[in-house]
Every structure is written in C-alpha cells, then in structure tokens.
Amino acid sequence: MPATLTNAVGIAAQANGCVALRADGTVVQWGQNYGSVPANLTNATAVSACLFHSLALRRDGTAAAWGNSGYGESVVPAGLSNVVAVAAGGYHSLALKADGTITAWGRTLEGQTNVPAGLSNVMAIAAGELHSVALRNDGTVIAWGDNSYGQTNVPPALSSVKMIAAGGDHTLAAIFSPLVQYPVDVTKDLLLIYNTNSVDSGFVKDYYLAHRPMVGGANVLGIGCTNTETIDTTAFGSDILASVRAWLNANPTKHPQYMVLFLDIPSQVGVTNNGQYAAILSSVGYGISTNIPGIQPFVMTINMDGTNDCRAYIDKLEFMGTNYSPGKLIIGTSASGYGNTNYYFDDTREIFAPGTPFAANDARNGVHSVNPASSVTYSNIVDTGTNLLGHITNGTDVAGYLSWGAHSYLKDCGSHRTPSAAQTIRTRQLARSAMCLSLAVAGMIPPLTSDYGKKADISPGVLGLLGGPSSSKRSATRLW
C-alpha cells in the first residue's frame, strides 16, 4: 500500500491490485497495473473493481472505467448518466441509474449483461465473475447470468433483504434485523416529513436540518394535511400514506430506514362516527411503517407543544451529538462509557384500577421475551394528584423508556383543578418519553420537572437514529 495514502473512504480489490477512493474524490491504485486511473477522474464518490478492470462513480452521475477491456467491460456506454452506483464483475460492468433501472455492458456469453426485462425499482447492485445481482426496494433479490454453482438460484421466499454482495461463483444477502445498527447514509436512509399547511412545521423541519448534526443531506417531503392531533382513516390514506408511497415510487433507489414526522403532522389515526372520533386505531407513525412495502422504516415524531418545545428537543440532540459523538451521525451511549442496560416502563395513570396492565407492560413483556434477564423497572398505580408519586422520574444507563396516556400528568392532576386550567394542561407523558429517550443517549434520565409538549409519538426510530443499543444482537446472512 502506498505510504502516502491517507483519508481513504472506500476500497476495492482486483485480481492482483487494489483501488482506493480518497475523501477529496481522487482515486489511487497499486499492485499489478491493468490500466492507469484516468487523468481526468475527479469528484469520485464510489469505486468498484474485479479481476482486471475498475469502475468509479462521479458526483455528477457519470461513470469512469479503466483496465482490461477484452469484452468491452472498460468501455462506458455513450451518454450514460444519472448513475447512483456501479459494480465491476469479472468481465462485465453494471451501473444503477436514479430511475431504478440497470445498464450493463461487457461479456455476455453467460447472460450476465442480459438485464431481466422489466426489472425496475432497484436500489442496489452486485456483480460476480460471471453473474449479476440486483436488490429491489421491496427487499427482494433478482440474479442472472452463469449458474454453474447455483449462484443465481435465489432462495424461495427470500425477503426483507438489506444488503447484497456477489463473489466469484456465489451470492450473499443480509436479511434486515431491527436489532442491528446499520451504517446510515442520510441521502438514502433518512426522510423528513413536514406539513405544508403549517408554517411552524416547516420551521421545525428547517431548524432540525440546521442544528441536528450530520443530517444536512437528508431527504425532505412536504405533505398537505390537517394539523389536528387526530386524522381520520380516509384522510390518512389519501393525504399522508399516499404521499409517502408516491415519494418512494419517485425515488426507487432509496428506501429510508428512518423517517421523522415534524410538528403539526397528526399523531394518531382514528375512526369517526357522526363527525366524532369513536376510536383511535394507531399512531400515524405506525400506520406509515406497517403500510410500506419491503423493510418497514422506523418512524419517530418531533411534535411537541409548539416550536419552542421542538427547538428545545433538537437543541438537546445538537448538544449531545456535538459533545458525546462528534463527527458521528449515530449518537450513542457507548462513547461516554454508559452501560445502556436498563429499561423503565411506566403504566401509572389517573384512572383505571391499579394493576391493569397496558402499553408499558407490553413493552416490559417484549423486552423480557428477548432477554428474560433484562433489567426492567415497571410502575403501575393510580395517580390522582399525588405529585409524581408512583411515576418513574429517574434512571441510569437507560436502554429504553416508555410512558403514555391522557390521564396522568406527572404532576398534580385531578378534580381539584378548575376546568379552564385542566383544559390547558394536556398530557406530556409521551413528549416526556421522547425527551427521556433523547437523554438516554447520554445514559441517564433526569428528574422530570418541566413541560416539553403534548404530542410526541415514540417508536424504535428514536433509539435507532439517535443512539440506543449499538451491539448487533440479531442478524441473518443468506449464502447461495
């Protein structure tokens, strides 16, 4: 390896040589020389190499190739543009375009450049010696070319695939696991959603982009919808879900693992009866996540009681990201030595009989189903104006925290309040959960003594994007 090689951000290997991509967009190669790096190759963002040739992707969406070209593998098709990924095979090359289609060139004797008719919605590609592989944004895999060793026999019912790779005569697929912290590319993995009918929603979105470390290249989707707490099922489908699906269809090479809903995007989906909400079916985040094809995204909400509370939450993220995880997108507890081992689940509320389990108990059972030895603190009493008695107010080495409900305020609460005052005090439980989860990345929950807003939907996205468990406890890789 060249002694002067520094700031490398990508590497690829040939038969007897190597290629490295530097942070400044230049490319360095060493070992057996099958062709020089093009003199005009600058602003490269990715490299790929196989036996005797190499590829590079430029920032402007064009591709460069060099090395042996006995089958034309180093001759980039004229006019090829809008490329978002490249893959070098043994004697052929692949390019993924922004519209989700694939362009292939080079040796085709084994069919490796015969892209299946109608193949679209591709978000990743890989090339073996004599075969090609594509990952579609619904989590399924397509393979074609030489099949002497079964390398194109995709296993039946293979789904929820996160990543693919191709070897000389074999293929790999990594099956998505919600317990694995995958590398995050915000240009592909993060979608920010705000309400175009709300000036405040746009403001919070812009504030997040300006202050949340490392998210400047995130995708943004504006949705025109009601700004009430609850949206009915019809409007949810037509205004929110349809807009998210339309964005995914327009961006086939992207399948965001994380979505953030901002202030004034409704929090919950309800059923109406004679103009009144008769039942709440789910959170908006859950409704989005479970109705997206392929891998379900983690959806979280920054939707507290006004812009100031949302700004305060984002300021906490900025402080922790800057001080505890500088230069890193994932804000994690391990950087500061916190154990990240304890769970706190609070079912305490104003009404219902003591002992009636609810959401926090479900969370407790879920954690214990994965690890019966997990440290879980659980609270479940009736709190009628007891000024925090029975509520969980402190925690250390926090892996997760959940509270809920419209009946308990984590403060004085009960019939002694005047109606006008009671109307002004909406439950802050869920918003406090969001606040505590954000603070959990610093390893502790402080006493809860101030109001942080009325509606914040908690989902695994908080843990996934902002920190949470960093160890890979469950994953699966399929090989064929």
With bands split at pLDDT 50, 70 and 90, how would you rate the model's confidence at 399?
Answer: confident
Nearest residue to 307 via CA among 260, 261, 259, 263? 263
Q: What is the mean pLDDT of residues 94-98?
A: 98
pLDDT for 344 beyond 60 = yes
Q: Which two tokens stand for residue 24?
A: 């400044």
Average pLDDT value over all residues in the chain? 82
* Range scoring the smallest mean pLDDT among 225-239, 354-368, 439-453: 439-453
HSE toward the beta carbon, residue 256, CA cutoff 13 A: 27
The strands making up 190-195's β-sheet, listed across from edge to edge, are: 219-223, 190-195, 258-262, 298-302
Claim to verify: residue 217 and residue 169 sit in the same structural domain: no
With bands split at pLDDT 50, 70 and 90, how would you rate the model's confidence at 471?
Answer: very low
Domain count, the chain: 3
Q: What is the mean pLDDT of residues 34-39?
A: 91
Among candidate residues 175, 198, 232, the one where a domain is terminated: 175
HSE toward the beta carbon, residue 275, CA cutoff 13 A: 0
Comparison of pLDDT for 404 and 383, the residue scoring more: 404
- Give the CA distances from residue 23 to residues 43, 259, 280, 455, 460, in Å, rounded to whole numbers and listed in that order: 9, 28, 49, 41, 32
Q: Which domain holds residue 447?
A: 329-456
Helix (H, G, I), strand (E, B) or coil at 191: strand
pLDDT for 42 beyond 90 = yes
* Cα 18 to Cα 14: distance, rounded to the nearest angstrom: 6
Residue-wise DSSP of 387-398: TTTTS---EESE
pLDDT for 452 beyond 60 = no
pLDDT in the model for residue 324: 76
pLDDT in the model for residue 464: 28
Burial category of 165 from C-beta neighbours within 10 Å (exposed 0-12, middle 13-18, buried 19 and up)? middle
Comparison of pLDDT for 478 and 260, the residue scoring more: 260
pLDDT in the model for residue 48: 97
Claim to verify: residue 238 and residue 292 sit in the same structural domain: yes
* Cα 189 to Cα 181: distance, rounded to the nearest angstrom: 12
Claim to verify: residue 285 and residue 429 sit in the same structural domain: no
| 473 domain residue, yes or no | no
Claim to verify: residue 252 and residue 137 sit in the same structural domain: no
- The CATH number of residue 34's host domain is 2.130.10.30
Assign residue 354 a region (left: φ > 0; alpha: ψ between -120 and 50; beta: otherwise): beta
CA max distance for the chain: 86
Comparison of pLDDT for 441 and 111, the residue scoring more: 111
| 461 domain residue, yes or no | no
Comparison of pLDDT for 333 and 43, the residue scoring more: 43
Claim to verify: residue 186 and residue 168 sit in the same structural domain: no
Assign residue 427 a region (left: φ > 0; alpha: ψ between -120 and 50; beta: otherwise): beta
pLDDT for 332 beyond 70 = no
With bands split at pLDDT 50, 70 and 90, how would you rate the model's confidence at 405?
Answer: low
Q: What is the mean pLDDT of residues 270-294?
A: 84
Claim to verify: residue 67 and residue 78 sit in the same structural domain: yes
pLDDT for 127 beyond 70 = yes
Comparison of pLDDT for 413 and 2, the residue scoring more: 2
pLDDT in the model for residue 415: 32
pLDDT for 117 beyond 90 = yes
pTM here is 0.78
- Residue type at position 36: S
pLDDT digits (tens, 9 = 90+) for 308-324: 999 999 998 898 888 87
Collect all residues with Cβ–Cβ distance below 8 Å to 289 and sequence separation of at least 6. 259, 296, 297, 298, 299, 459
| 23 domain residue, yes or no | yes
* Cα 27 to Cα 6: distance, rounded to the nearest angstrom: 11
pLDDT in the model for residue 432: 33
Among candidate residues 175, 198, 226, the one where a domain is terminated: 175
Q: What is the mean pLDDT of residues 221-248?
A: 95
pLDDT for 468 beyond 80 = no
pLDDT in the model for residue 193: 98
Number of neighbouring beta carbons within 10 Å of residue 308: 10
* Cα 119 to Cα 97: distance, rounded to the nearest angstrom: 12
| 469 domain residue, yes or no | no
* pLDDT above 90 coverage of the chain, percent: 62
Number of neighbouring beta carbons within 10 Å of residue 319: 14
What letter would DSSP give residue 75? -
Nearest residue to 190 via CA among 329, 293, 96? 329
* Cα 1 to Cα 479: distance, rounded to the nearest angstrom: 31
Among candidate residues 150, 175, 200, the one where a domain is terminated: 175
Comparison of pLDDT for 70 and 415, the residue scoring more: 70
User: Which residue in this structure is represented by tokens 């705000």?
Assistant: 194
With bands split at pLDDT 50, 70 and 90, how would you rate the model's confidence at 463?
Answer: very low
Claim to verify: residue 158 and residue 279 sit in the same structural domain: no
Claim to verify: residue 167 and residue 180 sit in the same structural domain: no
| 477 domain residue, yes or no | no
* Cα 12 to Cα 6: distance, rounded to the nearest angstrom: 15
Claim to verify: residue 170 and residue 181 sit in the same structural domain: no
3-state percent helix, strand, coil for the chain, nearest multiple of 5: 20, 30, 50
Comparison of pLDDT for 57 and 469, the residue scoring more: 57
Claim to verify: residue 117 and residue 212 sit in the same structural domain: no
pLDDT in the model for residue 262: 97
| 466 domain residue, yes or no | no
Q: What is the mean pLDDT of residues 183-207?
A: 96
Claim to verify: residue 239 and residue 348 sit in the same structural domain: no
Q: Do 333 and 443 form a contact (C-beta atoms < 8 A)?
A: yes
pLDDT in the model for residue 386: 58
With bands split at pLDDT 50, 70 and 90, how would you rate the model's confidence at 328?
Answer: confident
Q: What is the mean pLDDT of residues 418-440?
A: 31
| 188 domain residue, yes or no | yes
* Dihedral over alpha carbons 146, 479, 126, 43 (to 10 degrees): -150
Number of neighbouring beta carbons within 10 Å of residue 157: 6
Number of neighbouring beta carbons within 10 Å of residue 333: 25
Q: Which two tokens stand for residue 97?
A: 């375009």
| 452 domain residue, yes or no | yes
Collect all residues with Cβ–Cβ distance below 8 Å to 205 and sequence separation of at least 6. 192, 194, 220, 262
Claim to verify: residue 193 and residue 166 sit in the same structural domain: no
* Cα 422 to Cα 407: distance, rounded to the nearest angstrom: 11
Q: Which residues pair with 135 in a beta bridge?
A: 124, 141
Number of neighbouring beta carbons within 10 Å of residue 370: 10
